Structure 1
Amino acid sequence: MDWLIFILSVIEAIAWPVAFVAAVVFLRQEWVDVIGRIQGVKHKETQIEFGHCLQEASKKAKSSLPDSVDLASKGLAHRLELAGYSPRGAILESWIDVEATLEELGARYEIPRDELKHPDIHMMERMHGDDNALGKGAFGLLQSLCEMRNEAFYLTNKVIEFDAAKEYVSLANRMVTLLKEA
């Protein structure tokens, strides 16, 4: 084997691995964008779908939340503006308002603070029964909002669209209104 054939065989052996590594390195940001646009992930028994959860929550909201949105509520305009440049931040800020209102509700109904610190929404629903002040379906919607907040917080590679964040902010604001009225 002469040196030309040796060089040719070495180049032939490393061509595909080098091409693959180069594609990954050069298209790194594009891969992140593509992965971020994925609306759902399924691994064994676990399945996460942000867009689907938001659509389900919107359907639940029609039956259980008041239609009016209190535009004067604390920071709603700010959160809607925040959704334009940081959808994830708008979702997290909206959930903070829901949690604060849950604490106020707990104080009114003398629910121990420990139960509200890490709210088990299904447990709260069983405690209050069907005749609760929130109305039918409100606990399910509250659970959906909590799950979507968790997805926004923990799935940091996921791209959250402006419209989805705006819808979440609106739903959370309506939930806060309902909780304050209960």
Structure 2
Amino acid sequence: MDWMQFVSALVSALAWPAAVVTVVCLLKNPILGLIPKIRSFKYGELHVDLTEQLKSVQENLPDTPSESDANVPPSLPPPDALQLAAISPRAAIMHSWFEVVNAIDLLVRRSGLEINANTNFKMDVLRKREVIDDLTHSTFRRLSKVRNDAVHLTDHEMGYEDAVMMSTSCAWLIEQLQKGTPPADAVI
């Protein structure tokens, strides 16, 4: 192998890696700008789509109030949640979730229970004691997953509509929790 063949082999071996590095350097900023706009994420078996999860929760909520609730208007998010959603959708989701946690704590105290555990455990106890129904419990579980995804998947874009859907669902859940009372024959 003479020096010309050596240079030729060296250039051909380094051409592809150099081209890839150059393209990545040139497109780094546009690619980084697109990452936060991703609404769903899939990697192997993991698939996260926040909008789809929120729509799923809202589809399972009852559309029409029961006969006893006929005069009660449907759950609407509070105006402050709508204002916050316009400014920061992720913050609006967190705000709505904190209101749910406060409603759960209030229901636990009202039920005469002393539970010093996480919110999931409190809801499990409330369900076992029939203070809340299955729909309320399952809605809580699904909203909890949406909240966790919103908090921990910070590279995903959260939209105003997502925040409003979460606030509406949380308002419904809070309403259900406020209705929850321990059964008369419950042993506490």
Q: What range describes the TM-score normalised by the shorter chain of this pair?
A: 0.7 to 0.9
TM-score (norm 1): 0.76
Runs (4+) of structure 1 exceeding 6 A deviation are none
Q: Indicate the residue corresponding to 2:112 in structure 1.
A: 110
What secondary structure, in the 3-state scheme, does the structure 1 residue paired with 2:48 have? strand
Deviation at 1:42, TM superposition (A): 4.9
Distance (Å, rounded) in 1 between the aligned partners of 2:93 and 2:29: 24
Q: Indicate the residue corresponding to 2:81 in structure 1.
A: 79
Distance (Å, rounded) in 1 between the aligned partners of 2:49 and 2:146: 9
1:120 aligned partner, one-letter code: F
Q: Which has the larger radius of gyration?
A: 2
Aligned partners of 1:70 and 1:177 also within 8 Å: no
1:101 aligned partner, one-letter code: A
Summarize the alignment of residues 141-156 of structure 1 with structure 2, pairs less than 5 Å apart: 141-156=139-154
Distance (Å, rounded) in 2 between the aligned partners of 1:29 and 1:124: 49
Summarize the alignment of residues 128-147 of structure 1 with structure 2, pairs less than 5 Å apart: 128-129=129-130, 132=131, 134-147=132-145
Aligned partners of 1:40 and 1:50 also within 8 Å: no
Percent of aligned pairs with the same residue? 19
1:15-50 Cα shifts (integer Å, max 9, x gaps): 222222233333334434257525243544x55332
TM-score (norm 2): 0.74
Q: Indicate the residue corresponding to 1:28 in structure 2.
A: 28
Distance (Å, rounded) in 2 between the aligned partners of 1:120 and 1:165: 25
Query: Relative to structure 2, which stretch is displaced further, 153-162 or 29-38?
Result: 29-38
Cα RMSD after superposing both structures: 2.9
Distance (Å, rounded) in 1 between the aligned partners of 2:38 and 2:179: 37
Deviation at 1:60, TM superposition (A): 1.7
Q: Give the number of aligned pairs.
A: 172
Counterpart among 160, 165, 168 of residue 167 in structure 1 = 165
1:37-74 Cα shifts (integer Å, max 9, x gaps): 25243544x55332332121001222698752356xxx
Q: Compared with structure 1, are the counterparts of its residues 51 and 6 closer, same or farther at alpha carbon in structure 2 (3 Å cutoff)?
A: same
Aligned partners of 2:40 and 2:47 also within 8 Å: no
